[in-house]
Structure 1
Amino acid sequence: MRIRATVAAVSGALALSAFAAPAAQAEDAPKPDSLSAFAGQAPADEIVGDTKITNVVVNGGKAIVLGTTAAKTYTVSVTATDPSGIEDAYVDLWHGASAEEADNWLLPNEEAATCTASSATTSTCKLTITVDPQIDLYENSFAGTWKVTAAALGKDGDMIWKDAYKTHQVQRYAKLTVNASPEPVVKGKTITVTGKLSRANWETSAYAGYTKQPVKLQFRKAGTSTYTTVKTVTSSSTGDLKTTVTAASDGYWRYSFAGTSTTPAISAGGDYLDVR
């Protein structure tokens, strides 16, 4: 086994802290009742026997997106198979170049997963991970791609542990506003559309402008359901957006941001403009 230090605060009954043990002692340790016992001292991509992981899902496949204050709890699941059946499974997320040098971890709340068998050999096991941006995401550099550890334990003691089974995005929540004026406006006259793109700053627990980002200005004519892109505007050094267009008909104006690896896509609610 390889030793790896973990420093994390985990809500619920389980609290795991960093620890180390000599390799020989780790080898002689009794077999754990659940895979959570390996959270601080884990095998490195270890496979014992014929247990296999067939799928891992974090938050239903959607990115983990956090604002500045509210903690959120996400469901993670492992589908695994073993001829003897599945006893337990485990998932955590870690950030860094390698598991040995990880600078942050998001650990499950439960000591053991809740496993539901779909057959005598296959089960899907669920856990939850609670993320508090003020405790767990204390640096903006944590936004982006995280690795997902996945493990499964067969009822016969066989197991599989993968340090980086897949990757998952952890992102900073974004806000986007829009205002079209003057209102009402005469057809053919120029209107000004302003707005602001901002996102969570985990280091200050406040929202700040997302600078130098391409944002689409879109229009939906009254009575229709589809927005059309009119032009692309780049956010300023403070995240502000401003452009002018010609008023042609009644309808809704909005800004739409496609997102980045660190920030999710977002569209402002349409601002209705009365053209006369």
Structure 2
Amino acid sequence: MRKRATFAVLAAVTALGGFTAPAAYADETVGDIQITNVSVNGGKNVVVGVTDKTITVSLTATDPSGIWDADFYLWRGPDGTDPYYSADDYVTPNEDTTPADCIASSATTSTCSKTFTFEPDWWLTNAHAGTWKVGVQAWANDDSRTERYAYTTTRIQRLSKLTANAGPEPVAAGKTLTVTGKLSRANWDTLAYAGYTAQPVKLQFRKAGTSTYSTVKTVNTSSTGALSTTVTASTDGYWRWSFAGTSTTPAVSAAGDFVDVQ
């Protein structure tokens, strides 16, 4: 069975992955080892719906003796403090094996990876959406080692959905067209989708036979995430809503709804 990701609000923890936690926040490197790249979820934000989401985190490291192992952790907390002892939230990989899955590209360089699973039905709550720091560790065959507490960051976001409906269809030229929709996002506390309130959403139109949408106006969502506005029908085309996203919720655009103007 897959090992569940470990999650804790830390007051104190013991050494992780062979490193002894230093007394103060500071990166550490011993020897010639270097980390040259870190990738979280292929460079994309971690967007989670109401079911489990597993991602891969990898690093590329180099050392004259070759790379032996690597480890990773995600955390949130005040800058300037040691995540081992003062992180608000802390997540470790699914795999607790040593060494990690490392693939050598040369005698000196390898890319190592592990996976993380985000589980709304277990530990993930709405409060965890936002920016997380990515800590990484790597070891070489000659015992050189390095640790970077916050090599990069990633965003963990609540999956968003957006609908659009324009009517009546067909509509006479010059008559009023009503465009409605709803912006919702995953609620990790209830394992359902709920309206995203008080958010600016753009109403966009694409004329039939063209490929580009143009913004007509911006409307704020209601207390239930609903959208509604009116426009004057002039020509055949597609109407949609488009949301730019926030730090906790990804951008999303509804599928265009075609209206025949007669």
Query: Which residue does the alignment assign to 2:35?
Result: 53
- Of 107, 111, 131 in structure 2, the residue corresponding to residue 120 of structure 1 is 107
CA distance 1:16–1:142, shift in 2 (3 Å)? closer
Query: Which residue does the alignment assign to 1:12?
Result: 2
CA distance 1:57–1:17, shift in 2 (3 Å)? closer
Query: Which residue does the alignment assign to 1:94?
Result: 75
Contact 1:257 1:267 in 2 (8 A): yes
TM-score (norm 2): 0.88
CA distance 1:193–1:58, shift in 2 (3 Å)? same
Q: Which runs of 5+ in 1 are unaligned?
A: 1-10, 27-34
The alignment partner of 1:162 has SS state of: strand
Q: Does the alignment pair 1:158 with 2:144?
A: yes
Identity rate, percent: 63
CA distance in 1, matches of 2:223, 2:177: 23
Contact 2:135 2:151 in 1 (8 A): yes
Query: Which residue does the alignment assign to 2:167?
Result: 181
Query: Which residue does the alignment assign to 1:211?
Result: 197
- Of 211, 214, 232 in structure 2, the residue corresponding to residue 228 of structure 1 is 214
Contact 1:106 1:136 in 2 (8 A): no
TM-score (norm 1): 0.84
Query: Which residue does the alignment assign to 1:62?
Result: 44
Higher mean displacement: 193-202 or 127-136: 127-136
Q: Which runs of 5+ in 2 are unaligned?
A: none
CA distance 1:149–1:20, shift in 2 (3 Å)? closer
CA distance in 2, matches of 1:135, 1:74: 17
Query: Which residue does the alignment assign to 2:233?
Result: 247
The alignment partner of 2:227 has SS state of: strand
The alignment partner of 1:60 has SS state of: helix
CA distance 1:128–1:15, shift in 2 (3 Å)? closer
Contact 2:63 2:108 in 1 (8 A): yes
CA distance in 2, matches of 1:204, 1:252: 34
Contact 2:7 2:123 in 1 (8 A): no
